[in-house]
Amino acid sequence: MELKRRCGRGDLPCARPEGMRLVEEPGDHSIPKDSPLRRVLPGVFIANLQQLLNWGRKNSLWYMTFGIACCAIEMMATGASRWDLDRFGSFFRASPRQADFMFISGTINEKMAEAVKLLYDQMAEPKWVLAMGACACTGGPFAGSYNVVDGVDKIIPVDVYVPGCPPRPEALLDGLLRLQKLVAREGLEFVPRGGAAAAGEEGGARS
């Protein structure tokens, strides 16, 4: 019973690092019986460094303070206390240098496209992009218009698409969790880069 309590956090699916194995007692014979590790079992994870790095990254995805149109209002609501992106380790950074990803929250017109590209270029690797709302995904109601870019993925690579006009904060949170799944798999398996997942579609991550 005592052991259960000590490994309580390890039982939570979101706290367990992706791809890491919790060393269980009994039945796990990967650690010798006389190893000092046994004294702290089962609070031990076995992982490689990439998994550990991804685990840290996915739980501290800082996003850029960058609102473009009406979707930005919904993004701010998602960041504020009612939905609270901070509980997933995400919060606003006011500089692209310190940001890990950006929400594209609104219609991209031809004039704004240059600014979006510049900001994306200023972000440090690794970086991700979440297209929020119909306009950022495809141009939305303005698709084909003389001054609107038909989807921000014509300008910069996009990892997760969240459709909606605007998407509910719950949908945006789902998009963030899917982005976390992508980040957790980074460098661990063959992922066809540039593939993308739409939030709300079962199966999620890059396909």
Partner 1 sequence: MSGMTDRRLSAARALRDHLARAAPYAETDVRPDGEVVVRVPPDKAVAAAEALAGFRPHPLNYLSCASGVDRPDDDQIEVVYTVHSLPGPAKASLRVRVDRKTERPSLPSLVQVWPAADYHEREIYDLLGVWFEGHPDLRRILLAETFQGHPLRKDFVQNRPPRRRVTREDYQP
CA distance 158 to 195: 9
Nearer to partner 1 among residue 37 and residue 119 (C-beta): 119
Residue with tokens 């921000």: 152
**Token pair for residue 91?**
């919060």
Site for partner 1 contains 155 (CB under 8 A): yes
Give how far Cα 112 sits from Cα of 116, 117, 153, Å.
6, 9, 14
Q: Which has the closest alpha carbon to 155: 106, 191, 112, 102?
A: 112
Least Cβ distance, residue 131 to partner 1 (angstroms)? 11
Site for partner 1 contains 153 (CB under 8 A): yes
Query: x/- binding map, residues 103-142, to partner 1, per CB under 8 A?
Result: -------xx--x------x---------------------
Nearer to partner 1 among residue 79 and residue 140 (C-beta): 140
Nearer to partner 1 among residue 35 and residue 147 (C-beta): 147
Residue with tokens 């310190």: 98
Nearer to partner 1 among residue 11 and residue 114 (C-beta): 114
Only segment of 14-22, 57-65, 150-158, 182-190 that touches partner 1 (CB under 8 A): 150-158
The DSSP output letter for 60 is T
Under a CB-based contact definition with an 8 Å cutoff, are residues 10 and 42 in contact? yes
CA distance 38 to 62: 36
CA distance 100 to 60: 9
Site for partner 1 contains 95 (CB under 8 A): no
Q: How many C-beta atoms lie closer than 10 Å to residue 58's C-beta?
A: 25
Site for partner 1 contains 56 (CB under 8 A): no
Nearer to partner 1 among residue 16 and residue 117 (C-beta): 117
Only segment of 14-22, 86-94, 153-161, 171-179 that touches partner 1 (CB under 8 A): 153-161
CA distance 187 to 54: 9
Site for partner 1 contains 150 (CB under 8 A): yes
Q: Which residues here bind partner 1, judged by CB under 8 A?
A: 110-111, 114, 121, 146-147, 149-151, 153-157, 193-194
